[in-house]
Amino acid sequence: MANEPIGLIGLGIMGRPMARNLLKAGHKLVVYDIVPQAVDEIMSAGAEGARTAKEVAEKCEFVITMVPNSPHVKAAIFGENGVADGIKSGSLVVDMSSIDPTVSREVGGMLKEKGVRFLDAPVSGGEPKAIDGTLAIMVGGDQKDFDEAKPIFDAMGSAVLCGDIGAGQVTKLANQIVVALNIAAVGEALTLAMKSGVDPDLVYQAIRGGLAGSTVMDAKAPMMMDRNFKPGFRISLHIKDLQNALAAGQNTGVPLPLTAMAMEMMQAIKIDGHLEDDHSALVFFSEKLANVEVHRKAK
């Protein structure tokens, strides 16, 4: 696949580093984004730019979409000058956005009618792991299509085939539930430590090696204590993911009470003006209730 151009539509906070890693791996890349400056940035790294998603599809038989939500995926693929207007029969479209599993299945079905193959392949890890090329990639679709895409996934992270089309999105929603609740728990725990007069950094160091320890804790506890809420993954995007999770729960008859609580916490943070902060800003909810700010104590 290294000799055949890959199309990438969507050069946002995740798409740009993913594009760079594909280029580093030796892949030819044709890119498009509605923001021309983003296209220019990746062109300067060696990619070819396109003026529309249709043009990307005309030039590439392997097309990746990486856009914010379900409506954006539909627009990129089936909108005016979209992928479907230029894609050749037999091509493979891989949506790496995080969207509603129902929409993934709908998109896959519509592309199948055109003779086009489809994988849903959302990712986890945020901007840091997108930059490092160590994303967790959760894939839904046929084994043969997954095997074809695997060398390309390998340039961006580690991929696992989770089932049929839509299974990748279900897995991502499960991931986002665990991440949201883990961040909320870390924030609540550090707030308790701070209010109790115990150094939250020492609490973190004491518990991180035990059962409470997690990748989430190691990533987010230091950000909370350092008051660093520069977005690696925005509250706005996590709200979107939890909305999709709650919708999926309703569609399948699975109550998600803890997910609903995390959503309400994020809505409160949104009202306070932190929608575009990193999701580690969940700590604000506990801090506000306790009237305390989590930070490292002076040595």
Planar angle of CA 280, 22, 103, nearest 5 degrees = 60
pLDDT-based confidence at residue 249 (cuts at 50, 70, 90): very high
Domain regions of the chain by residue span: 6-164, 170-290
Three-state SS for 218-254 is: HHHHHHHHHCCCCCCCEHHHHHHHHHHHHHHHHHHCC
* Structure confidence at residue 1 (pLDDT): 47
Residue 24: active-site member: no
Which 8-state DSSP code applies to residue 209?
A: T
Is the pLDDT confidence value at 32 over 60?
A: yes
Going by C-alpha positions, the residue among 84, 137, 150, 141 that lies closest to residue 113 is 84
* Structure confidence at residue 170 (pLDDT): 97
* From the candidate CATH numbers 3.20.190.10, 3.40.1160.10, 3.40.50.720, 3.30.1360.40, the one assigned to the domain spanning 6-164: 3.40.50.720
* Structure confidence at residue 299 (pLDDT): 65
Per-residue pLDDT tens over the stretch 110-143: 999 999 999 999 999 888 899 999 999 999 999 9
Indicate the pTM of the whole model.
0.91
Per-residue pLDDT tens over the stretch 189-219: 999 999 999 999 999 999 999 999 999 999 9
* Structure confidence at residue 203 (pLDDT): 98
The mean pLDDT of 174-185, rounded to a whole number, is 97
Non-local (6+) Cβ contacts of 112 within 8 A are 118
Reported in sequence order, the residue ranges of 134-211 that DSSP labels E, i.e. its strands, are 135-140, 157-163
Amino acid at 69: N
How is the chain split among helix, strand and coil, in percent rounded to 5?
A: 55, 15, 30
* From the candidate CATH numbers 3.40.50.2000, 2.60.40.10, 1.10.1040.10, 2.30.30.90, the one assigned to the domain spanning 170-290: 1.10.1040.10
User: How many residues belong to the chain?
Assistant: 299
Residue with tokens 């035990």: 210
**Residue of 54, 129, 172, 240 marked active site:** 172
The mean pLDDT of 83-102, rounded to a whole number, is 96
